Structures are given as C-alpha cells and as structure tokens.
Amino acid sequence: MVNMFDRDTLDTIRKILENYPDRIIDVLNSLNENQFKSKEWLIEKLNEYPHHFRYKTIDKKLDICLLASWYGLLAYMLVDKFKLKQINNIDCFDFDPKAKHVAKKLWKKIDNDNIKNSKLTYIKFIEQDIKDIEKTQNKKLKEYPVIICTSCEHLEQKVIYDTINKLDQHTLVVLQSNNYKEINEHINCSDSLEDFANLYVSKLKNMKIYEKDFIKYKRFLIIGTKI
C-alpha cells in the first residue's frame, strides 16, 4: 500500500499533541493555506523591492527580526525563498511562553535537513513582548537591518510606532495587516489599504503597498524604509 502521509510530519504532529495538546489546533492554523499564501506573497514582493536599505550594497549578511512571529513559518520560508541578500540570523520574537517550545519541535526535522544541505541561517525563538525588547535583550532593534511584522492587526498602534521609532534610518520595514474584524484578537485592523498606508507615511519612505483578496478579508502589505 502506498504511503499517503509523510512519516516525519505525522511524528512531529504526534509529539506536539503529546507535549502541547492545547496547541495542536493553533499549530495547524499557523500552517494553513492562507498562511502560506500570505507569506509567499510577502516574500515575492520583498524580493522585488527596488530601493536602497541598510546593508543592501555592502558585503555583509543580513540579520532579520520577526515580531509577533507565532511558530515561525515565515522564518523558514525566508531561508528558502529570500533573494535580496544572504541571511545570517533570523530572530523570532513572540510574547507567548509556549511558542518557542512548540516551534522547536515543529521545525526540528527541517533544522536538521537545512544543516545537511548547508543552509546555515540560524533561527532563534525568543519569548519576549515587543514593548520590552530594548529593556531585556542584548541586541537592540536598531541593530537589525530588516524588521518584519505580519501581525499588525494584533498589536496596539502605539506599540508599532514605538518600535519603528527605535530603528536606525534606512532599516527595511515590512508590515502586514488586514480588515478581518470578526476575530476578537484583531484589535487594530485597517478598513482599506489606503488607511493602512496612511498610518506610516510619516515613519517610512519609498513605500510599496499591496493588497491581496482572501475572500473573507483583504490582506495589506507595506514595504518601506525608516525615515
């Protein structure tokens, strides 16, 4: 009989179910079709970004900071698909104390495969509220040439502004949000792409803005550099 399911995937799901049974639905949601489409779209547009940003033209690998990173799907997609420059480290920050532990189990096989295939980007999961990164981490936000947050709808606008204010000039900033207000945790949706973009015209320059229809909601994307 033909094997219809990958054994490694089933084993990973089993381990997460055994250790974090309350997270299995959340993990599956983090890997659903819309999550992949949204992040593939982000990387596609990021690879097309034509403007200057920090480290773009110097011989130095990039460190990338992912804010509100959940279980890190975007980090692993960046390792495979990001083309603007070679990545050195990806630091994934999330305030959820379980996120990093679940992520380590979720991506263990991929990590091992990446090492075998000489994809040596180091992905680190860090339990940290965005507001407190500057207070507790040795590495400051201004040290990252690329900052990405795909969860602006989950964050207070002041937190996003305060974060951008801490960045060095010409830092590449990538933001996603949506107009999906039916979810309680979505406390900061934008009604339209124009509304989302207008939030950042005083913070970012050389902005490229995009919209993608996901039937139930529209997803918004901004790529720009810190003024």
Please write down the HEC assignment for all residues of the chain: CCCCCCHHHHHHHHHHHHHCHHHHHHHHHHCCHHHHHHHHHHHHHHHCCCCCCCCCCCCCCEEEEEECCCCCHHHHHHHHHCCCCCEEEEEEEECCCCHHHHHHHHCHHHHHHHHHCCCCCEEEEEECCHHHHHHHCCCCHHHCCEEEECCHHHCCHHHHHHHHHCCCCCCEEEEEEECCCCCCCCCCCCCCHHHHHHCCCCCEEEEEEEEEECCCCEEEEEEEEEC
Instruction: Determine the Cα–Cα distance for residues 99 and 125; give it in Å rounded to an integer.
Output: 8
Tokens 């994307």 label which residue?
Answer: 221
- Which amino acid makes up residue 49? Y
Instruction: Determine the Cα–Cα distance for residues 76 and 116; give it in Å rounded to an integer.
Output: 15
Supply the pLDDT for residue 2. Answer: 47
Express each pLDDT in 182-202 by its tens digit. 999 999 999 999 999 999 999
Express each pLDDT in 20-79 by its tens digit. 999 999 999 999 999 999 999 999 999 999 999 999 999 989 999 999 999 999 999 999
Express each pLDDT in 102-112 by its tens digit. 999 999 999 99
pTM of the model as a whole: 0.94
